[in-house]
Structure 1
Amino acid sequence: MLIPVSPSTVSINNDPLLQLYSRGSRQHFFQTSELMYLQGDGNYTWLHWVNRPSIIMPKTLKQLAGLLPAGKFIRVHRNSIVNCQYVERLERLKAGLGTIHLVNGSALPVSRRRWEAISELLDHAETSTK
């Protein structure tokens, strides 16, 4: 399931910006290309970046998913969204479970329900880049 596009996403040089607020009304803009994956933790979400420390935001994963650019992020589990450009490989485990491995060594679970769509999408992305 790809993340739908949000009209509020600002774009500079074809790299959309993610606008986040922290401590009051302070605004911070981050390049979405630097966002490796998001992990939901109740009413909070951890944002894991390529070249900066992870941060936690007081928003649900669903709320932040609406701010992400279309076609670049994929929901792999009920608690995680991954940036497709940082996927290293998919691994099928027993009983239909799966794991997605990222280039930084992180491994996240893939739900059984989403496995087929994710593997087809990533296979299609690999063949189109070759």
Structure 2
Amino acid sequence: MVINLEPVFQKQKIGIGKRKEAIARVFLVPGTGNLLINKIPGEKYLQYNTFYLNTIWAPLKILKLEKQYDIIAILNGGGLTGQTEAIQLGVTRFLCNLDNANRGILKPYGFLTRDARIKERKKYGLRKARKAPQYSKR
């Protein structure tokens, strides 16, 4: 399945979502409800995990638009959970750019909140951020 993505990427509106180390650039194009992640079908990319798929489609399902748009996402970094939540935030931001009335509908569900938790840095004298070497009294 080869899709020409050039006209899509020239649009001004783009939804950018971040979570942990994952960054997602999301485009919504009129379609039939397909998901394309890094030029791979979304179901295959997310290993057919229904939780991940439901997380991505949740904002569109609330607005009853899931069969009207295709989601095209370009991902960098992170794992599948972080990437999934980054796509969800990107989709939500894109929907708010399309129509400002969507913001009031999606905000109570917490879709517009950027989860700012990131990995804590490693400290000197420790093995990880908080894990210390084993203590020996004698």
User: TM above 0.5, one fold?
Assistant: no
TM-score by length of 1: 0.29
Q: Which has the higher contact order (CA 8 A, sep 6+)?
A: 2
Which of the pair is proportionally richer in strand?
A: 1
